[in-house]
Amino acid sequence: MSNTELLRQEWTAFRRPGRLIALAAAALGVIALGLLATLGHRASCDGPCPAVPVADGGSVVGDRFWFLHRDLGPEGAITVRMTAMTGTITYPPPDHDEIVSGLVPWAKAGIIIKDGTRQGSSYAALMLTGGHGVRFQHDYRHDTAGSAAGVSPQSPRWLRLTRSGDTITASESTDGEQWHTVGAAALDGLPDTVQVGLFATSPGDLTLRKVALGGAIEEVRFTQAVGVFDNVTVDGGAAGAWDSDPVGEMNHTDWEKHHLASGAVENDGVITVSGTGDIGPIGEDAARTVETTLTGLTVALFVVLIVGARHGARTTPSRRLVVARSTVVGAATFVTGLAAVGIVVPLGVAILANNGVPMQPVPAPTGARVVIGVAAVLALCAVLAYGLGVWLRRGWAAILVAVSSIAVPYAITALPLLPDAAGEWLLRVTPAAGFAVGQTAVEYPQVIAHYAPSAGYFPLPGWAGLAVLCAYTAVILLLATGPRRTEKPVRR
């Protein structure tokens, strides 16, 4: 019998009503649970919701700070001496009973050139940070360390940004005489007139509260940064008074209303700028990613593991037959996953966007990678379970091993149950690592966030996680088709 005839025969044997119903139920579970989850998410604000900062390309970003600014032409520069940087953190742990002086590591104050005051517009900024020294950042994703990476926020520092057309060059100095170039950035499409000035901002103080078996839940508290400047000079800029404005909403908290409002104050040539918020690649209210639409994936995973394991337990361990049946199982599961994920992702994204929920954009290549990759992972998991069924010869035993090694790690790491290190370990060494192929969340070193499995971050890149799953599947199929020990006759 030819391979084609064998595959056709095995497909005919596989497509029993019970198996087809099970696969259809898996697909419907992904679609129904995913759509229910997206329908349950809706933007809710006291009054109109503030605009979500969106950068070029459609990415949701953080862009909120206090801005003391004026016009700058195609050629020019701003030079300042930053004499100090202080801050406030409200009700930090352990007791949450007082407001303390201090700076979070990525609090920022410094100088900035920006394409207007619209949130999400292009910019380049040179700043002193709360814990990472002098940094040059531009267009939200790019971050360059200055020479004084360990400089104290209380150490005076000279900062300079120079504009020449679309190119912004950042320099720093300890004395205002000897300058060191930190970096340069090309901000394509800058208009002839941009805004230049001083800024301050401070992201929330993130701590993790232990729950369950050692898992963690994020808690964020309000913070504020204050930068003090003198010797401010602008070449190539407009004369006259400075404009002082928030970029994004500010001064709504009790601290700002009753203690220290965010803003800018000038006194005898000394300018003090205070602000809260962040300028960076991740929005303060983190935008949803496509993974939000895949909450039903765990149900589908359980179903395909059971179908594969039970089918494998009924297989005679012939290499040719195992290859043919595993191909059929994998192909049927891949089509099931492709249909389910291909429906729920675009529909779920559209529902979330219609509900006013901020969504990170899904470029066509990324969307295709998620849909095809998740379908391929489901198919490989089904083949792995099938191989376990052949190898162990017991459907219940194969189901137990498959569920314990794939479905359980995937499910429990999606929840804040285990310590982050344990969750990362499980997603490195178990077949569940393959689901990293569907991840779209990105980790940025210049943003403090809870980069853990329970927050949607896999410890391995997609290709590496897929390689782990492929290796497990290959080993199990080799064991299933390898030589078997036969019982020796008992001598009487």
Q: How far apart are CA 82 and CA 232, in angstroms?
A: 9
Record the pTM. 0.90
- 376 or 481: whose pLDDT is higher? 376
Predicted confidence at residue 389, as pLDDT, reads: 95
Task: Specify the CATH class of 62-280 in words.
Answer: mainly beta
- Is residue 92 pLDDT above 80, yes or no? yes
Mean pLDDT, the chain, integer: 92
- Is residue 45 pLDDT above 80, yes or no? no
Predicted confidence at residue 149, as pLDDT, reads: 58
Predicted confidence at residue 315, as pLDDT, reads: 73
Proportion of the chain above pLDDT 90, given as a percent: 80
CB 285 within 8 A of CB 7: no
Q: Is the peptide bond before 94 cis (omega within 30 degrees of 0)?
A: yes
167, two tokens: 């190119």
Predicted confidence at residue 487, as pLDDT, reads: 39
Q: How far apart are CA 244 and CA 68, in angstroms?
A: 4
Predicted confidence at residue 484, as pLDDT, reads: 54
List, for residues 363-375, the tens digit of each pLDDT value. Answer: 899 999 999 999 9
State residue 234 phi and psi, 5-degree precision.
Answer: -130, 120
- Is residue 285 pLDDT above 80, yes or no? no
Domain layout of the chain by residue ranges? 3-40+287-481, 62-280
Residues with Cβ within 8 Å of residue 197, at least 6 apart in sequence? 67, 68, 69, 70, 78, 111, 112, 242
List, for residues 157-179, the tens digit of each pLDDT value. Answer: 999 999 999 999 999 999 999 99
Mean pLDDT of 480-487: 62
Predicted confidence at residue 198, as pLDDT, reads: 98
- 467 or 147: whose pLDDT is higher? 467
Mean pLDDT of 360-389: 95
- Is residue 126 pLDDT above 70, yes or no? yes
436, two tokens: 């990293």
- 366 or 149: whose pLDDT is higher? 366
**DSSP secondary structure, 430-459, as one string:** SGGGGGGGG------TTS----SGGGT--S
Proportion of the chain above pLDDT 70, given as a percent: 97
Predicted confidence at residue 25, as pLDDT, reads: 97
List, for residues 439-461, the tens digit of each pLDDT value. Answer: 998 999 999 999 999 998 999 99
- Is residue 326 pLDDT above 90, yes or no? yes
Mean pLDDT of 249-278: 96
